[in-house]
Amino acid sequence: MSKHKLKQLENPTTLSKKDLAADKWVSQSEAARIRGVTPQAIENLMKKGRFRTLSIGGRVLLDRREVENYKAKRTGRPRKRTHSTG
């Protein structure tokens, strides 16, 4: 994990005991495995504030449901339409 500060949620929430269930949170490497990307890609998304994170004892955990349901936003310029000749 890099030493960069992670973007904080705009509305921090209080977590209940139910929210702290062990199977609800995954490590950065496990999140990368679930999404089929590198741990660095997950870290970039964390820096952008795309996932809720929990830091315990120096380890950063991500909400499993958010990782599984994450849909990447299309970025950049839209593609030009091409006319097919047929």
pLDDT tens, residue by residue, 17-44 = 566 666 789 999 999 999 999 999 999 9
Angle, alpha carbons 3-5-9 (nearest 5°): 150
pLDDT surpassing 60 at residue 7: no
pLDDT surpassing 70 at residue 10: no
C-alpha span between 32 and 22 (Å, rounded):
18
Sign, CA torsion 84/75/39/21: negative
This prediction's pTM: 0.61
For the chain, first and last CA: distance in Å?
A: 52
* Over residues 3-29, mean pLDDT: 64
Q: What is residue 40's predicted lDDT score, i.e. its pLDDT?
A: 95
Percentage of the chain modeled with pLDDT above 90: 38
Parallel, antiparallel or unpaired: strands 53-56 and 25-27: unpaired
Contact between 54 and 61 (Cβ < 8 Å) = yes
Beta-carbon count within 10 A of 28 CB = 22
